[in-house]
Amino acid sequence: MAILKTEGLTYTYSAGTPFEKTAVDHVDLCIEENKMIGVIGHTGSGKSTLMQHFNGLLKPTSGKMLLEGEDIWADKAKLRDVRFKVGLVFQYPEYQLFEETVAKDIAFGPKNMGLSEAEIQTRILETADMLGMDRELLERSPFALSGGQKRRAAIAGVMAMRPKVLILDEPCAGLDPKGRNLMLSQIRNYQKKTQSTVLLVSHSMEDVAEFTEKLLVMSKAKLFCYEDTYQVFRRAEELKQLGLRVPQIASVMQSLRKKGYDLPEDLYTVEAAKNAVLALLGKGAVQC
């Protein structure tokens, strides 16, 4: 079932002024429940503007934004619920930490939802565990944590609300390779456990290749495609024209295919490429 749906969604900044700019142009989308989705696009492609419609931060200039089949703008009083159901984590969320302790910071959202104290405590602990945060950190000041832990604390605050959809804008910006991998595996772990939908906005093709099932690609205010990740990376030439690229390994595998080697089309991680190359080598040996 679709959790989020857009119908001809269009958004124009500064309409009626000389700075008028259509940032999202007639986007029709149907986003499923329980999916890990990557969102990619050139700077200025409209992906952030689109994301801000998903939880009602922006109202479409025309077209509709539906959550669980209901137009989120039909009844303004319900917008608060929409924001509980669709959580949005901005870039560098650690700058939004404000409480005295990590636990209190994480509790802020759930408290505003009116949950019981016991339920809030459970959620704090569960979320900290899913993100691999040491429980001892919960009583520390968020400002005394390392960069990566601060960011986890900030993300945990939104996760603890258990939104049906969680949107993360570049959650790994500025993290080192090991930190990126750990953060992304923990986010995927959260997605599996909660069976929610996670949208991961990223500039790293390698990261979305490894961690997402589907890709939403924006280009020049339009939806370029919304397909399974492996299908998107087959379209290397088109992606290059959009100012994007495919992971290094996908590019090598495609060049080999073009030269006539019998490799599958959907190789975009090192692991898959290795297995495919080994399979091919194995075949060769049999023929000898």
Partner 1 sequence: MEKIIKAEHIVFRYPADTEENQKPAENPPILKDISLEIEKGSFTAILGHNGSGKSTFAKHINAILLPESGKMYVENLDTSDENLLFEIRQKAGMVFQNPDNQIVATVVEEDVAFAPENLGVPPAEIRQRVDDALKAVNMYEYKNHAPTQLSGGQKQRIAIAGVIAMQPDCIILDEPTAMLDPQGRQEVMQTIQKLNQEKGITIVLITHYMEEAALADRIVVIDDGKIILDDTPKKVFSQVEQMKALGLDVPQVTELAYELRKVGYPVSPEIITEEECMQALEALL
Binding residues for partner 1 restricted to 250-279, rule: CB under 8 A: 251-252, 255-256, 259, 261, 270, 273-274, 277-278
Q: Which is nearer to partner 1, 82 or 131 (CB)?
A: 131
CA of 223: how far to CAs of 163, 174, 217, 227, in Å? 24, 28, 6, 11
Report the distance separating Cα 111 and Cα 185, nearest Å.
27
Residue selected from 59, 117, 143, 192 as contacting partner 1 according to rule CB under 8 A: 143
Output b/e per residue, 51-65; b: 16+ Cβ within 10 A: bbbbbbebebeebbb
Residue selected from 8, 132, 174, 264 as contacting partner 1 according to rule CB under 8 A: 174
Residue selected from 20, 28, 176, 228 as contacting partner 1 according to rule CB under 8 A: 176
Q: What is the DSSP string of 10-63?
A: EEEETTTSTT-EEEEEEEEEEEESS-EEEEEE-TTSSHHHHHHHHTTSS--SEE
Report the distance separating Cα 171 and Cα 89, nearest Å.
8
Which residues does residue 7 pair with via DSSP β-bridges, in sequence order? Answer: 64
Binding of residue 140 to partner 1 (CB under 8 A): yes
Q: Binding pattern to partner 1, positions 77-116, x when CB under 8 A? A: ----------------------------------------
Binding of residue 241 to partner 1 (CB under 8 A): no
Secondary structure element (H or E) that encloses residue 188, with its range: helix 177-194
Which pair of tokens denotes residue 57?
A: 């931060």
Binding of residue 245 to partner 1 (CB under 8 A): yes
Min. distance of Cβ 43 from partner 1 in angstroms? 5
Residue selected from 62, 146, 185, 195 as contacting partner 1 according to rule CB under 8 A: 146
Number of residues counted as binding partner 1 (CB under 8 A): 42
List of residues contacting partner 1 (CB under 8 A): 41-44, 140-141, 143-144, 146-148, 173-180, 203, 205-206, 243-245, 247-249, 251-252, 255-256, 259, 261, 270, 273-274, 277-278, 280-281, 284
